[in-house]
Amino acid sequence: MTDPVEPLAIRAIISVKGRVQGVGYRAFALGAASRRGLRGTVRNLEDGRVELEVEGMKETILGLTEDLKIGPPASRVTAVDIDWHPATGRFSGFHIRY
């Protein structure tokens, strides 16, 4: 069952490029998103990027992107791209997708 969508919630697909696989980036993103109360998923893509699908308040998501630009110590982020969409309410928490 999905949770109701917050009235001002929005969904963002965030693509993180750089040295972001094999450095604990997904766990870092999980912690950063969970601390901010966001819902969604994070996963590795075959082309070396990490992708997040996040729902919550736009300002909160923008704050998350600032954390994502830094990443964990072993990472080297070269770009963070965001595509905005309407929220779906289909997430119950924040999880790593495998």
Catalytic residues: 26, 44
For residue 42 the two structure tokens come to 């994070």
List, as one string, the DSSP characters of 52-80.
EEEEEEHHHHHHHHHHHHH-STT-EEEEE
Q: What CATH number labels 18-91?
A: 3.30.70.100
- Per-run averaged pLDDT (10 residues), the chain, 98 residues: 64 98 98 98 98 97 98 97 96 95
For residue 55 the two structure tokens come to 């729902």
Of 20, 73, 15, 65, the C-alpha closest to 38 is: 65
For residues 7 and 61, the answer to whether their CB atoms sit within 8 Å is no
Listed by start position, the domains of the chain span 18-91
Q: What is the pLDDT of residue 1?
A: 43
